[in-house]
Amino acid sequence: METINKPKTTIVIFGVTGDLAKRKLFPSIYNLFKKGLLSENFAVVGVARRPWTNEILRSNVCEAVKNEVDPDAGELEGFCSHFHYLPFDVSREESFDELNSLIGDLEEKHSIPGNRIFYMAMAPQFFGTIASSLKSRGLTETEGWSRLVIEKPFGHNLPSAKELNEQIREAFNEDQIYRIDHYLGKEMVQNIEVIRFANAMFEPLWNNRYISNIQITSSESLGVEDRGGYYDTSGALRDMVQNHMLQMVSLLAMDPPIRLTTEEIRSEKIKVLRAMRKVSSDEVEDYFVRGQYGPGEIKGKEVPGYRSENNINPDSQTETFVAGKLMIDNHRWAGVPFYIRTGKRMAVKSTKIVIQFKELPMNIYETKNSDTHPNLLVIHIQPDEGITLLLNSKKNDSSGGTAPVHLHFSNNSVNTVNTPEAYERLLHDCMLGDATNFTHWDEVDLSWAFIDTISEYWENSKEELPNYSSGTMGPEESDELLKKDGFHWWPLNEDGE
């Protein structure tokens, strides 16, 4: 009898020869299998244009798993035998008929009751065509359930996102569509709700009476690497802000849901996105800063500027850095700025959230002997996972002064077993039909509507780029954005100094 937490499933990966499948999907599916969260009655069908065979795919799966985890040899061989390959042309209806036939044979062999996940791990221009053909050729007509998993980018602006959504909705209902944002699968991003709603010491303070500002930084030390072709048409605003950054803002700012259901959590996140103050063209420079990295030094090594990278236009105006000030016009957050920044070729690789609490109206310890510091709650998303609370305490001397101390919890040091990879958790959620940590169309719609004005303004801007050196934390204008409000970016080190 099928257990509730590991449904018998067929996973179809479109674009199985690509980098995403190799680096993320194969190891994640293996980890689910090894942990007993994937039924032994499963099949994975990989499709792509290359003339591969089952043996070639299985060899690639084994190699990918070995690169990421330390598998049991016998177990890995059995795992890889569940993978099957089909050379595929999305423009040929016969390809979909062949796929349907293969899935049917595998479902019979493994006693899978028609449960199918179709994972789009390929170029987004084919999403609509594939979804339409899956329905018209009968692949979604099964006794079980059918779910469509879509990787970003979901469009490149609001009109294109609406067009894509309309195409997909002709074949799948909204509750069958799983728009994946891997940030929502990260351990400490999911922990935001628990920190807020399970702790009496935080939730009563989580508002504009006690919090002065919130900062979200997602910095990378790498450049565009081999993604130049995609990145130069996207940029940091579309690649990071429209999805990952705004998702974290909505989790930090949402009101407590009535209950922990997909519908209630999504509803509260959508309210936040609706309450975000729209930025007009005339206001873009007051609220947002863009940047592009030039040559510089990372860890003692000289690195080239963005315009010298592979597949990049030598006159490119694409931003590799974005900093912004978001205002949420509701009762809880009126007057509290949410600052975001994200970029490539920055000084460190780190994603952190800093909640800065307001100072006391009259702090009697603000003397020359004290090093008073605002209280900070730091949520470490990656590469470290954990929480730091910065408090003021008595100095270890006879001066009677104070000094900041850190209370630190490290998820990595407590859990010796690696925390679940984001894709691993999200794939399992999809199998269970839990869409809580996937993006609803209303969230996509509102986030595109918010950033389209900014991207259109920048497309017509004559700003001088590049404007920050590799190995720094972005252009100086990013610091000025906070300075004019009387704040500064908190450094990414543990000391907050």
Per-residue pLDDT of the chain (497 residues; tens, 9 = 90+): 345 578 899 999 999 999 999 999 999 999 999 989 999 999 999 999 999 999 999 999 999 999 888 888 788 999 999 999 999 999 999 999 999 999 999 999 999 999 999 999 988 889 999 999 999 999 999 999 999 999 988 999 999 999 999 999 999 999 999 999 999 999 999 999 999 999 999 999 999 999 999 999 999 999 998 888 889 999 999 999 999 999 999 999 999 999 989 999 999 999 999 999 999 999 999 999 999 999 999 989 999 999 999 999 999 999 999 999 999 999 999 999 999 999 999 999 999 999 999 987 766 656 555 566 899 999 999 988 999 999 988 877 766 678 788 899 988 766 544 556 899 999 999 999 999 999 999 999 999 999 999 999 999 998 899 999 999 999 999 999 999 999 999 986 544 43
Q: How far apart are the first and last CA of the chain?
A: 57
Query: If you count DSSP H runs as helices and E runs as strands, how many of each does the chain have, helices first?
Result: 16, 17
Alpha helices in 126-208 (DSSP H): 127-136, 158-169, 187-197
Q: Interior CA angle at 445 toward 442 and 449, to 5°? A: 140
E strand or H helix that includes residue 265: helix 262-275
E strand or H helix that includes residue 453: helix 441-459
pLDDT of the residue at 152 = 85
pLDDT of the residue at 360 = 79
Q: Residue 221's CB: how many other CB atoms inside 10 A?
A: 16
Q: What is the CA radius of gyration of the chain?
A: 24
Phi first, then psi: give them for residue 83, nearest 5 degrees.
-95, 140
Angle between helices 262-275 and 246-253 (to 10 degrees): 100
Q: Residue 217's CB: how many other CB atoms inside 10 A?
A: 25
Per-residue CA distances from 236 to 1, 217, 230, 352 (Å)? 47, 13, 11, 17
Residues in CB range of 186: below 8 A, 6 or more apart: 381, 382, 422
pLDDT of the residue at 401 = 75
Please identify every residue annotated as catalytic.
244
